[in-house]
Amino acid sequence: MKRFWKWLLPALFAFPLSVFAQTGQDIQARLTALEAATKSAQSAGDNAWMLTSAALVLMMTGPGLALFYGGLVRRKNVLSTMMHSFILMAVVTVIWAVVGYSLAFGGDSPFIGDLRFAFLHNVGSAPNADYAPTIPQQTFMVYQLMFAIITPALISGAFAERMKFSAMLLFMTLWSLIVYFPMAHMVWGKGGLLSASLGGKIPCLDFAGGTVVHITSGISALVCARYLGKRIGYPSDAMKPHNLVISVIGACLLWVGWFGFNAGSALAASGLASSAFVATHFGAAAAALGWVLAEWVRNGKPSVLGAISGCVAGLVAITPASGFVQPFPALLIGFAAGVVCFFMVSAVKRKFRYDDALDAFGVHGIGGTLGALLTGVFATNAVNDSFKDSAGHVLPLGLADGHASQILNQALGCAISWGLAIVGTLIVLKICDAILGVRVRKESEVEGLDVALHGEEGYIFES
Amino acid sequence: MKKIEAIIQPFKLDEVKEALKGIGIDGMTISEVRGHGRQKGHKEVYRGQEYNVDLLPKVKLEMVVAEGRAEEVVRTLAGAARTGKIGDGKIFVYDVAEAIRIRNDDRGESAL
């Protein structure tokens, strides 16, 4: 026993001494390793959420929007309408790889990106510190691609049932180049004119694409509807949605996918992502109720189409606000969007007699503008404290923080977005009309685009 | 022989079939049709766009019966299909020149 203590005691003293004896370099090396491990753990978490979000946003276009729009048209045009959404998943992806990503996120000029990332040059697993420092740039690139896909797909609701497929392809290619990429750069790109976080002249708060996605698509939709003219028989013939069941499924997929759209726009699996997730959900819920109630009062019946349209209008309106507002303002924004968009598509559309076949303007143009303006009202640094002055103080965001002039910035952002959408879309339509002609022949329109353009029918019950 | 053709409310079909079975009529042809008489249709509203739907779903029953049974069949059918409201439908009775059973060439009432 004595012998045992004789050995143990010196050993006990010697152990801590040996730690102190280690060189400072050793500790430094271990700290560095620890830092790297923490970083890689955070990157793993963020990357998992962002890849999931990217997949969710793609799901909004196909099948979400394809089903939603497909159900709203007449039976003879269901395939051609779903094809608009589906083929854009392919077309925009190719454009994005060649120049799109670079024009949106390369460089730091105020209006449009440069060609440094053309053909995805240098876009690999290393993060792009300007935008998302914790995830591979490839993840950021593919996530942003999903936005570039759904935006033109939203426009297709305005020219459904009467546009040539070839002209649609050309239109969407040119539209992405002339309207979408510049707008995405101005709002989200480094040094962009409207960028709030990366040194813009007119800092416009747009968390997930109220101006970039919904205003541009909604306003361009109105221009398309006016340029192409009404469908034959509109508004005297019955043009009832042929299958509201698939529209309901589509709207539900949009609702779920929108969590990737908005909460993913935090670009990290952070508390801000949770906050955006909650605001998104609340906005959608309140908007569905707002539309249904307005309709119930006015028409006497609460319709299913009203409920799903309201939900989409709310999701649109909460998009720019989602990373800046608390849950109750989110409910308010959603409810307002439901009521306002209902009156747009039911009263205003009839008064001005334009044929926005699937209400892309009424829901996305108006809902997007309303949301962008209300973001200036309700945005608060209690939700998002990432904006700081040079001394490190957190800046006030919207009217809720006493920063009323933000509403003016929001309005300027909307005006630029409307202007670019109107002018850009008109130019693109003129080009398409001159080269290909934008509208299908009268016989094709009467026969239905599925058979006339694609040689197929959506439903064949006899076989 | 008489052919009896009745256009009735779809939800009355089961009751009518049961009633006819009750008096021994077990052959009939049924089709889903659309139409309207004095009954007005209904209004549907999609995003504020109103549509008047005036052709409503109905069910048409056709059966051929022996001369002497026609009145009884008509009375049973009308009794079972009646709700007393506009839209209950109509019954038409025609003379039939001949009936042939394809399987064995039976003719006349024995073919029914």
pLDDT digits (tens, 9 = 90+) for A55-74: 999 999 999 999 999 999 99
- Banded pLDDT at A18 (limits 50, 70, 90): low
Res A2 pLDDT > 70: no
Q: What is the pLDDT of residue A211?
A: 94
pLDDT at A1 over 60: no
B46 Cα to chain A: minimum distance (Å): 7
- Of A198, A351, A225, A366, the C-alpha closest to A287 is A366
Coil vs helix vs strand at A143: helix
Contact yes or no for A359 and B44 at CB 8 A: no
Burial of A193 (C-beta count, 10 Å sphere; 0-12/13-18/19+): buried
Quick: pLDDT tens for A359-378: 999 999 999 999 999 999 99
Q: Which residues of A touch B47 (CB under 8 A)?
A: 305-306, 309, 345-346, 359
Are the beta carbons of A304 and A257 closer than 8 angstroms? no
Lowest mean pLDDT among A334-348, A349-363, A402-416, B70-84: A349-363
From chain A, pick out residues whose CB is under 8 angstroms from the CB of B46: 240-241, 303, 305
B32 to chain A: which residues are within 8 Å by CB?
A: none
Mean per-residue pLDDT, B91-103: 95
Helix (H, G, I), strand (E, B) or coil at A292: helix
Q: Collect all residues of chain A within an 8 Å Cβ-Cβ radius of residue B51.
A: 238, 240
CA atoms A217, A112, A207, A96: torsion sign = positive
How far apart, in Å, are the Cα atoms of A112 and each of A102, A118, A131, A432, A463? 9, 13, 16, 23, 53
Domain boundaries, chain A: 49-454
CA-CA distance, A211 to A207, in Å (whole number)?
10
Residue type, A379: A
Strands B49-53 and B29-35: unpaired
Q: In this structure, which topology does domain B2-111 adopt according to CATH?
A: Alpha-Beta Plaits (3.30.70)
Confirm if A179 and A216 have CB atoms less than 8 A apart: yes
Mean pLDDT computed over A313-333: 97
Per-residue model confidence (pLDDT) at position A20: 58
Does B49 sit within 8 Å of A303, measured CB to CB? no
Count of A–B CB contacts within 8 Å? 27
Strand partners of residue A235: none
- Give contacts of A303 with chain B, Cβ < 8 Å: 45-46
pTM over 0.95: no
User: Per residue in A250-283, pLDDT tens?
Assistant: 999 999 999 999 999 999 999 999 999 999 999 9
For A326, the token pair is: 């608390």
Query: CA of A271, closest CA in chain B: separation in Å?
Result: 38
pLDDT score at B72: 94
Q: Do B10 and B50 touch, CB atoms closer than 8 A?
A: no
Cβ within 8 Å, pair B45-A240: no
Residues B50-89 pLDDT 10s: 888 888 889 999 999 999 999 999 999 999 999 998 889 9
Which runs of consecutive H residues, i.e. helices, occur in chain B?
13-22, 70-81
- Domain A49-454 in CATH 1.10.3430.10? The answer is yes
Alpha carbon of B44: minimum distance to chain A alpha carbons (Å): 9
Q: Chain B contact for A94, CB < 8 A?
A: no
**Residue A207 DSSP symbol:** S
Tell me how far apart the alpha carbons of residues B100 and B65 are, in angstroms, rounded to a whole number: 13
Binning pLDDT at 50, 70 and 90, where does residue A92 land?
very high
pLDDT of residue B44: 85
Burial profile A405-432: b = 16 or more Cβ within 10 angstroms, e = fewer: ebbebbebbbebbbebbbebbeebbebb
Q: Is A323 on the interface with B (CB under 8 A)?
A: no
The pLDDT score that the predictor gives to residue B27 is 87
CB hemisphere CA count around A260 (13 angstroms): 27
Average pLDDT on A38-49 reads 95
Select from B47, B49, B52 the residue whose CB has the most chain A CBs within 10 Å, as the one to mutate to test that interface. B47
Residue A63: alpha-carbon gap to chain centroid: 16
Best residue in B32, B34, B46 to probe A by mutation, most A CBs within 10 Å?
A: B46
Split at pLDDT 50, 70, 90, the class of A218 is very high
- Which of A85-94, A184-193, A407-416, B27-36 is predicted with the least confidence, judged by mean pLDDT? B27-36
* Mean pLDDT (whole number) for A318-331: 97
**Could you tell me the pLDDT band of residue B26, with boundaries at 50, 70 and 90?**
confident
Per-residue model confidence (pLDDT) at position A234: 87
The answer to whether the Cβ–Cβ distance between B49 and A301 falls below 8 Å is no
Which residue of B lies nearest to A239 if distances are taken between CA atoms? Answer: B51
For residues A436 and A429, what is the distance between their CA atoms, to the nearest angstrom?
A: 10
Predicted local distance difference test score (pLDDT) of residue A17: 55
Q: Has the ipTM of the complex gone over 0.90?
A: no
Average pLDDT, chain A: 93
